[in-house]
Amino acid sequence: MNRLERAIVALAPIWLALAPSATAAQAAAQEIGGLRAYWHVFIAYTIAIALVLGWVISIARRLRDVEERLGRG
Amino acid sequence: MSVTDLRRAGTALTALGLLGLAMVYGLSFFWVSTESSQGIVQRIFYVHVPAAWTAFLGFAIAALASGMYLWLRDERFDRTALCAAEGGMVFATIMITTGPLWGRIAWGTYWTREPRLTLTLLMWFIFLGYFLVRRSSDSPERGKRYAAVTAIVGATLIPFIHVSVLWFRSLHPQPVVMRTDGGPALPGDMLALLLTSVAVFTMIFAGLFMLRYALEGLRHQVDMRGRAAAA
């Protein structure tokens, strides 16, 4: 067996354990809210990560500016 | 803890937290079961509730530190309050933007005049005022004092927001974890993912709070140098 085949064999039990719950999870969702519900979930998750990353970037920029000022002084 | 140590610890915690957030997103889509009455949109819960918890944590720390600042007039407490309030605002914004996205599918409307929603929005505006009040006065010391009072007033709403769904007739769902009549009312997988997400959001807040506090420490050093050069 090559490396790829060994990886597939190793991951197969994990996939088999997760697949039934994932399939069942998607099946129930078809009835309530339809595709629009998926969009709302994606938008909510995007807002969360965007705001967190925005705060990360904002702090990083301000840190860089202050360090430059300290370096000049 | 020195500024360098704070930056190292903050960077490590933030990186771990962001990895955890990616894991929470993955588990939310491919592992946790779908709630039978709400369907897929219930997954917003794994972002909305942890964001609410973290926002309340940030605002509570801001209020406590503000109280200590008013009492002891120690600048470090003011810096703590400022950093915690900034984090609280970020997570409160996540809370009040993701909630309506859920409400549109579950209730049929983005917003309704309802006690918990109204009080939460009021708290968000009060903490927005916190940042405006800091800069409103010619005297920085006076601005800090006014801001400290604003933070304390804002944080007094937290317990009312929590009990508003119990005290008033409310559209907002009742508590499912911190319930007054027993333990959590969630299936095991949903509870596990929710608690994981709460831990991840708290970790991100803690990491960024440390980095933000390190930034204030460096700004303080710049101010001290400026004053020394002017003297």
Do you know the residue count of chain B? 231
Q: Give the pLDDT score at A22.
A: 55
Q: Are residues A59 and A71 in the same domain?
A: yes
Q: Give the pLDDT score at A62.
A: 95
> Which residue in this structure is represented by tokens 């596990």?
B192
Q: How far is CA B156 from CA A37, B62, B153, B205, in A?
A: 35, 11, 5, 21
Segment B56-83, tens digit of pLDDT: 999 999 999 999 999 999 999 999 999 9
CB atoms A40 and B105 under 8 Å: yes
Counting residues of chain B whose pLDDT is more than 70, the rounded percentage is: 97
Q: Are residues A27 and A53 in the same domain?
A: no
| Beta carbon pairs, A and B, within 8 Å | 112
Angstroms from A4 CA to nearest CA on chain B: 23
Q: Are residues A69 and A45 in the same domain?
A: yes
CB atoms A59 and B212 under 8 Å: yes
Instruction: Give the separation between CA A37 and CA A39, rounded to whole angstroms.
Output: 5
Q: Are residues A4 and A18 in the same domain?
A: yes
* Contact in structure between B177 and B184 (CB atoms under 8 Å): yes
CB atoms A62 and B215 under 8 Å: yes
* Contact in structure between B208 and B39 (CB atoms under 8 Å): no
* Contact in structure between B63 and B151 (CB atoms under 8 Å): yes
Instruction: Give the separation between CA B196 and CA B112, rounded to whole angstroms.
Output: 30
Q: Indicate the SS3 state at residue B35.
A: strand
In sequence order, the 6+-apart residues with CB closer than 8 A to the CB of B206 are B13, B17
Q: Are residues A38 and A15 in the same domain?
A: no
User: A16-25, B30-39, B147-156 — which one is most confidently predicted on average?
Assistant: B147-156
Q: Are residues A39 and A68 in the same domain?
A: yes
Q: Are residues A36 and A53 in the same domain?
A: yes
- Name the H helices within B73-187: 75-106, 115-134, 140-155, 157-167
Pick B39's closest partner by Cβ from A21, A33, A45.
A33
Q: Are residues A5 and A38 in the same domain?
A: no
Pick B31's closest partner by Cβ from A18, A38, A48.
A18
Q: For the whole prediction, is pTM greater than 0.80?
A: yes
Q: Give the pLDDT score at B39.
A: 86
Mean pLDDT across the stretch B89-113?
93
Segment B167-197, tens digit of pLDDT: 877 777 777 776 667 777 778 889 999 999 9
Give the gyration radius of chain A's Cα atoms.
23
Amino acid present at B15: A
Does A3 contact chain B (CB < 8 Å)? no
- Name the H helices within chain A: 3-29, 34-72
Strand-pair partners of B35: B39
Strand-pair partners of B39: B35
CB atoms B218 and A36 under 8 Å: no
Q: Are residues A53 and A66 in the same domain?
A: yes
The total number of structural domains that make up chain A: 2
Q: How far is CA B62 from CA A69, B10, B129, in A?
A: 28, 18, 13
Domain enclosing residue A12, as ranges: 1-31
Flag whether pLDDT at B210 surpasses 90.
yes
Instruction: Give the separation between CA B39 and CA B30, rounded to whole angstroms.
Output: 14
> Which residue in this structure is represented by tokens 């369907």?
B39
B117 token code pair: 């929603």
Lowest mean pLDDT among A20-24, B111-115, B123-127: A20-24
Segment B114-165, tens digit of pLDDT: 899 999 999 999 999 999 999 888 888 899 999 999 999 999 999 999 888 8
Q: Are residues A42 and A67 in the same domain?
A: yes
Q: Give the pLDDT score at B22.
A: 96
What angle, 0 to 180 degrees and rounded to 10, lies between the N-to-C axes of helices A34-72 and B3-30?
170
Amino acid present at B198: V
Flag whether pLDDT at B20 surpasses 90.
yes
Query: pLDDT higher for B228 or B147?
Result: B147
Mean pLDDT score across all residues of chain B: 91
Q: Give the pLDDT score at A17.
A: 61
Instruction: Give the separation between CA B113 and CA B123, rounded to whole angstroms.
Output: 15
Query: pLDDT higher for B226 or B206?
Result: B206
Flag whether pLDDT at A10 surpasses 80.
no
> Which residue in this structure is represented by tokens 């088999």?
A16
Flag whether pLDDT at A20 surpasses 60.
no
Instruction: Give the separation between CA B118 and CA B65, rounded to whole angstroms.
Output: 26
Q: How far is CA B200 from CA A9, A20, B25, B217, in A?
A: 31, 26, 11, 26
Q: Give the pLDDT score at B7.
A: 92
B195 token code pair: 């608690």
Q: What pLDDT band is residue A26 in, cutting at 50, 70 and 90?
A: low
The nearest alpha carbon in chain B to A59 belongs to B212
Q: What pLDDT band is residue A72 in, cutting at 50, 70 and 90?
A: confident
Q: What pLDDT band is residue A25 in, cutting at 50, 70 and 90?
A: low
Q: What pLDDT band is residue A30 in, cutting at 50, 70 and 90?
A: low
Q: Are residues A2 and A12 in the same domain?
A: yes
Q: How far is CA B177 from CA A17, B172, B181, B183, in A?
A: 27, 14, 10, 7
Q: Are residues A52 and A27 in the same domain?
A: no
Chain B hits for A18, CB-CB cut-off 8 Å, are 30-31
